[in-house]
Structure 1
């Protein structure tokens, strides 16, 4: 009985440690080049930096962040409207996020 419990514990520990390591390393790798590319694309003014900060802090709470260039300006419009309601952002905050995303296109 002890052997079964120890074997089960070892398998569980192995599965958890592999899953955690994989999850932790996956988001860190693409985030670093994206920040570098974004910084090179447009010099961020204080307003755009605030928009970027709001985008990263509010949107990443619920899902992964999309590269602004993944969608066109027309495709971003309905996405931002829908997300404004879900994230409970006011018009000023949303305008700042929208300005940041449009500056990166």
Structure 2
């Protein structure tokens, strides 16, 4: 039990630190606003942070308009070689951030 609690606290602290240094960490409000599952939004953020940041700085989702994301995302997903499922998760994540 103690190890589980320490692991939870560590994960919580890491999430808080990441929030200041990168795009929003999916939370309950994002899930409610987007209608997507927490798992989908978490996967979308993970792909966004790992695959997008491989080639360039990952832009904060709100730095780019929703209209521009519709053009940018398919091309970048193709360039990064990510699966359609991962592209869909990234799109869901971006939409959830923009809905905040």
Question: TM above 0.5, one fold?
Answer: yes
Q: CA RMSD in A?
A: 2.2
TM-score of the aligned structures, taking structure 1 as reference length: 0.61
Unaligned runs of 5+ in 1: 1-30
Distance change in 2, residues 1:46/1:32 (3 Å): closer
* Counterpart for residue 38 of structure 1: 24
Gap runs ≥5 in structure 2: 1-17, 32-36
Give TM-score, length-normalised by structure 2.
0.64
| Aligned pairs, number | 74
Rg bigger for which structure? 1
Residue in structure 1 matching 2:78, options 85, 89, 94: 85
> Which residue of 58, 76, 93 corresponds with 1:65?
58
* SS of structure 2 residue aligned to 1:66: coil
